[in-house]
Amino acid sequence: MIEFILYVSDQNRSKAFYTNVLQKTPSLDVSGMTEFDLSETCKLGLMPENGIAKILGERLPHPASGNGIPRCELYLFQENAAEVCERAARNGGKMISAMQPRDWGHTVGYVADPDGHVLAFAEKI
């Protein structure tokens, strides 16, 4: 199993965003962690910044200090990528780049989630 965990400023806001965008119910939703099954072998986790900050201690900067700074992206293949991309923008995301054919053979749109994490919604051309 692979799990990608995003550090979020507001777990409930992020849970609502990803529930609406992915049209999935969380497989786990407890104080300190929300998880979505993306496939049989991959999960997306949402962990509050203050929770991970307790684990990181003084060794690394508080995750909130990096909000909105693009450092990576979640590249998600979707059957109706354009619809999912628009849904993300309507539900509190920030449109970065509209759906368009890319030179690597995919049609992709980019949206930032409410914490500034970059999401790419893709389909093969």
Tens of pLDDT, residues 3-20 = 999 999 999 999 999 999
The answer to whether 46 and 34 are in contact (CB under 8 A) is yes
Condensed to tens digits (0 to 9), the pLDDT of residues 37-58 reads 999 999 999 999 999 999 999 9
Q: 68-125 domain in CATH 3.30.720.110? A: yes
User: Same CATH fold, 68-125 and 1-58?
Assistant: yes
Q: What is the pTM of this model?
A: 0.94
- Chain centre to alpha carbon of residue 4: 9
Question: Which has the closest alpha carbon to 111: 90, 92, 95?
Answer: 95
Condensed to tens digits (0 to 9), the pLDDT of residues 62-82 reads 999 998 899 899 999 999 999
- What pLDDT, on a 0 to 100 scale, did the predictor assign at position 81? 97
H helix or E strand, kind and range, residue 21: helix 11-22
Statement: residue 32 has pLDDT above 90? yes
Q: Provide the CATH topology of domain 1-58.
A: 3.30.720
